[in-house]
Structure 1
Amino acid sequence: MKKSLLLFLLFFLQITNINAQSVTGVLGAFPPELVLLQSRMEEKKDTIIQQIRFTKGKLNGRQIVLAQTGIGKVNAAITTTLMIEHFKPREIIFSGIAGGIDPALNPGDIVIGTHVTYHDFGMVEDNGMQYWSTKNPATMLENPRSFVCDSTLVKKALAVSKGLTFSKIKRENGSFEPAVKQGIIVTGDVFVSSEIITKRLREELNAAATEMEGAAIAQTCYQQNTPFLIIRSLSDNANEKAQNDIMAFYDIAAHNAATLVMAVVGKM
């Protein structure tokens, strides 16, 4: 009896210790995507690795490590790799803005990624794009063409979003509460400002939103066995107005994405 009790206590202490030591990685591409998260962090301590600043601290009671990736796929992959190697996060969550592809979505609305895929990896032909899968160079095994966001994190994000108050979006016909939807997010090293491209991404990839980092983070996490979630709020509709819209809406979009990420982190 005493031996069984001792084993149980050792097991309990081990699990408690693991939970106490585990951290959640949080990423954003550029300063506006991280400003709210940084302002709410407590007990902050910076570590510089390969000239990249990683900030450890508490957010909503959860131990996190926060970093700015920079814009684009290579920057995102480098920062994600360093975060996994040096901090071993239990999961990684990206918070940021995106261009809307789903015609039902508007600036300020939020997309919780269910899948993330590249829209610029493959072969360009006269009749369009042939999309390829990436390959893990260590194993030479082919990766899935679409990386699946962690289902537990997706469900958690959807659940907590129902009780949150987001910044309203002001449009010509009034102010609106942002919608929260789940969907496919596509990634490429281009800023999409074309209805022709938007239509193609919707038809060929069933994309809800497009951005420049998510799939690189997803691929890195997939190859390093780290659960991940990509959360994006729309700054524009990836059409001819995108360059003007992003200037008008990126602050609100970044704030809404970060608001949801904070709530998810608080439920870890």
Structure 2
Amino acid sequence: MTTAILSALPEEQGGLVQALEQREQFQYAGREFWRGRLYGQMVVLGLSGIGKVAAATAATVLLERLGVQRIVFTGVAGGMGEGVQVGDVVVATQFLQHDMDASPIFPRWEVPGYGCTQFVCDPELSAALFESASAYLANAKAGCASQGSEITRIRATRVHRGLVVSGDRFVSTLAESAALRTVLATAGYEALAVEMEGAAVAQVCRDFGKPFAAVRIISDRADDSAHVDFPRFIREVVRPYADHIIAGFLQR
């Protein structure tokens, strides 16, 4: 079984490409892919680019052209839920497109033709990601006391599971984040994090009948400092998270 590890940006995949054995690099539909073995498993690493359409294109290529059997997305997100802080990890249980609105023909957030607002992630894959992330963060937290770098001061103390919302907008002000969280909560949706690709990949995987799961590292609180925090976090922190969480996942 071949697993695809998909991310929007190369930094979100850490050192996975360098760790790939029998590596074969190729391009399709303007995107880069690497195929090989990683921790004993056949994998395809892919970069989708940013946004829902870009992510849907990459997911379709992986499933239709490259024949992968399951997709796992790894990357960063803005924290929205209560207690979801920078450095935490969110494993998605389902996705919703927060910018989908075909009302009044369809209820707000319902995806036309599907009769639902949310796309559910594969429980087995999600459980493996949760276990791997929990193990890594426990080890990382234990090691923080003996280190003093800026990286280790961002203490990843929790792994969360729940709803992640996607949209073609980088949520980067406190007012926008609060408004989005409030309108979703009023309708009964408690979003833990916001990003720009996952819901599209989840929808494509449902179309193809293939399992999908996603793990997101919280890089900011989707507030007025998000545009400052994001590049630094991507550069300094994401690599070890991606390396260790995906390694643990594949070894499970």
Tell me the TM-score normalized by structure 2: 0.85
Aligned to 1:142: 114
Q: For residue 8 of structure 1, what is the aligned residue in structure 2? A: none
Distance 1:83 1:76 in 2: 11
Q: Are 1:223 and 2:204 matched, yes or no?
A: no
Confirm or deny: 8 A CA contact 2:92 2:164 kept in the other structure. Answer: yes
Displacement of 1:258 in angstroms is: 4.3
Rg comparison, structure with higher value:
1
How far has the Cα of 1:31 moved from its partner? 1.4
1:257: how far off? 3.9
- Distance, in Å, in 2 between the alignment partners of 1:197 and 1:123 is 21
CA distance in structure 2 between the partners assigned to 1:87 and 1:72 by the alignment: 21
Specify the code of the residue in structure 2 equivalent to 1:75: A
Aligned to 1:14: none
CA distance in 2, matches of 1:122, 1:181: 27
**1:259 aligned partner:** 244
Report how far residue 143 of structure 1 moved. Answer: 4.7
Match of 1:161 among 110, 120, 133: 133
Give the Cα–Cα distance (whole angstroms) in 2 for the partners of residues 247 and 149 of structure 1: 28
Aligned residues: 237
Measured against aligned partners, the alpha-carbon deviations of 1:99-120 in whole angstroms (never above 9, x if no partner) come to: 1101312211100000111000
Q: Quick one: percent identity of the two aligned structures? A: 30
Which whole-Å deviations, capped at 9, do the CAs of 1:14-69 have from their partners, x for residues lacking one? xxxxxxxx200110101101232112211111232223222111111110011100
1:86 to 41, 57, 65: 65
Give runs of ≥4 in structure 1 deviating > 3 Å: 165-171
| Equivalent of residue 179 in structure 2, options 200, 223, 235 | 200
Structure 2's unaligned 5+ residue stretches are none
Alignment partners' CA distance in 1, 2:213 and 2:115? 18
TM-score, normalized by length of structure 1? 0.81
What one-letter code is carried by the residue in structure 2 that aligns with 1:215?
Answer: A
Measure how far apart 1:213 and its partner are: 0.5
Unaligned runs of 5+ in 1: 1-21, 136-140
CA distance in 2, matches of 1:263, 1:240: 34
Matches within 5 A, 1:123-138: 131-135=108-112
